[in-house]
């Protein structure tokens, strides 16, 4: 049984809280690497539904798009999952999800929601923190020039074929 799977009978009636530590192997985020974290859970159980609110603090190992260096990206996010018995169609959005609840299974799992929450909080542009300024904006990177670079104005040895093409253009 996963750390993110809970027995229904162990969840008390009304409101309750739990904290779960997530080891490195808790989530499969391929191609990214999960580096552990913890999740604060708040359950609210009635006869007809169970609401699970969670706050996730975790780290993910990423590769910088600019330098190809590995770095650790902290992830912090909140999400809510509502498990109901009489749901005809499961729904979800950026704030929460409504899932069908089957009492015969005797367990509920939020592993998929936690994994999706982590994946949705991974930035599209992965920049190492050394490339981000104190305001959170990407720093300009310097442009280096190698070798002798001719100016466009130096036209002393231009291929005559290019000259003829330029004349055709005009």
Is 39 in contact with 19 (CB distance < 8 Å)? yes
131 by DSSP, 3-state: which?
helix
Residue 154: predicted pLDDT: 56
Global confidence as pTM: 0.75
Rounded distance between C-alpha atoms, residue 47 and residue 6, angstroms: 17
Structure tokens at 12: 């008390």
Residue 170 to residues 80, 153, 162, 164, 167: CA-CA distances in angstroms?
A: 65, 18, 13, 10, 5
Residue 2: predicted pLDDT: 80
Residue 155: predicted pLDDT: 52
Q: Name 161's Cβ contacts closer than 8 Å, sequence gap at least 6.
A: none
**pLDDT tens sequence for the chain (170 residues):** 588 899 888 899 999 999 999 999 888 888 899 999 999 999 999 988 999 999 999 999 999 998 899 999 999 999 999 998 888 888 888 888 888 887 677 888 899 999 999 999 999 999 988 888 888 788 887 777 777 766 655 556 778 888 888 888 76
Q: Which of 85, 123, 86 is nearest to 105 (CA)?
A: 85
What is the Cα Rg of the chain in Å? 27
Residue 13: predicted pLDDT: 93
Residue 152: predicted pLDDT: 58
Residue 55: predicted pLDDT: 96
| Look-up of token digits 């808790």 | 26
């Amino acid at each position: 049984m996963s750390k993110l799977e809970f027995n229904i009978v162990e969840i008390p009636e009304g409101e309750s809280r739990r904290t779960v530590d997530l080891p490195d192997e808790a989530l499969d985020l391929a191609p990214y690497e999960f580096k552990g974290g913890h999740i604060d859970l708040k359950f609210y159980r009635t006869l007809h539904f169970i609401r699970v609110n969670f706050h996730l603090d975790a780290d993910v190992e990423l590769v910088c798009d600019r330098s190809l260096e590995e770095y650790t990206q902290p992830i912090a996010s909140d999400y809510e999952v509502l498990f109901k018995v009489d749901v005809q169609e499961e729904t979800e959005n950026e704030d929460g999800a409504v899932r069908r609840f089957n009492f015969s299974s005797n367990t509920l799992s939020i592993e998929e929601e936690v994994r999706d929450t982590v994946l949705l909080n991974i930035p599209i542009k992965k920049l190492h923190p050394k490339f981000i300024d104190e305001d959170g904006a990407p720093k300009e990177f310097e442009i280096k020039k190698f070798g002798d670079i001719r100016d466009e104005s130096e036209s002393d040895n231009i291929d005559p074929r290019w000259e003829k093409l330029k004349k055709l253009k005009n």
